[in-house]
Amino acid sequence: MLGSNILKFTDPHEHSSVISYVVDQEAIVTARGTYQSELTFVNLNHLGLMRGWRSLPQIGRGTSRSNMCAIIFPTADGQAQATFNGIEVPESHMTFCAPGTEYVATVSAGYWGGMTLPPETIASASQALAGYEVIAPKALQVIHTPPPLMGRLLNLHKLANQLAATAPEVLTHPEIARAIEQELLRALIACLANPAKAKEPNPNRQRIMQRFHRLMEARQYEPLYLSELCAAVGVSERTLYGICMDYFGLSPQRYLWLRRMNLVRRALTLADPNKRANSVTSIASDYGFTESGRFSVQYRAMYGESPSATLRRTPHSNRRARLHRL
């Protein structure tokens, strides 16, 4: 369905749930402060556009949809700095996530852009425009594109998002939407068909990360010691530390602590404060925070409010129900 939408959020999990039709993602905010974000969607015939902004850095871990390619890139204005699976994505680069790609993305505050389209659309458009099929990579790739080609793609992407903000009715006109989509496809295929350089994540490091995440999911409600982590993952402390710094920008223990803190905030937001079982102490202890006084101090320092203040607010599920999606 042709059209566009602009949504604003104060909850990173709410933000992630709205883009779940593109990627299945878990979001972990990594800095103190008040979270705010915005998403602009433009839905064309075979091409989806996204433009996002967030006020705080975060780590996103997820999997792209099995029927869709996702292409993510820095925008020219106030761009967010990002790494995908340990690879930096500087200016004039794009991250190509093939269908079903697992990824870990560390993204700073700022703006980012994206596109989604089926792999068969890339194949048919590249055959028509470049004379051969551009095949989606089996794994995630970070592609360095010649700046003039990337600049054209960014300008067209920005124009479409500006229309969503200033004249959204234009994007519902079939012929206008088709013309915009064709120009965007031309610019995208030019980038994909003429890469200056492409990088793929180290497969051994990816396997270590997969084992790390399986352990994290199995024991997400409890603190883990570094020696336990290394023994379970099967690597040395130095190796695990180095990989986590590349993927997360954090030590493994700091990442796990932040993840549990984000999970407990999410649980407090969703909980009904009128139910006796939903006390701050009981919810915090469910996620391994057993020292209530220390937890409250850490929570306030991270989020700028007490855990009881979070619990008393309107449940997140009620706010989510009011969101309008494409």
Domain at 3-199: CATH code: 2.60.120.10
**Domain at 203-318, CATH homologous superfamily:** Homeodomain-like (1.10.10.60)
CA distance 210 to 159: 38
CA distance 139 to 200: 7
pTM for the full predicted model: 0.85
pLDDT at 323: 39
pLDDT at 325: 37
pLDDT at 320: 42
Residue among 139, 77, 138, 85 at smallest CA distance from 107: 85
Q: Give per-10-residue mean pLDDT for the chain (326 aa).
A: 91 81 77 92 94 94 88 83 93 91 92 93 93 84 93 95 95 95 96 88 92 87 84 94 95 92 91 79 90 93 92 58 38
pLDDT at 37: 94
pLDDT at 22: 59
CB neighbour burial string for 76-103, b if at least 16 within 10 angstroms, e if fewer: eeebbbbbbbbbebeebbbbbbbbebbb
CA distance 273 to 285: 16
Residue 37 sits at φ, ψ, to 5 deg, of -155, 165
CA distance 79 to 157: 14
Amino acid sitting at position 26: E
Cβ atoms of residues 12 and 45 within 8 Å:
no
pLDDT at 136: 76
> What residues does each domain of the chain span?
3-199, 203-318
CA distance 157 to 113: 8
pLDDT at 250: 94
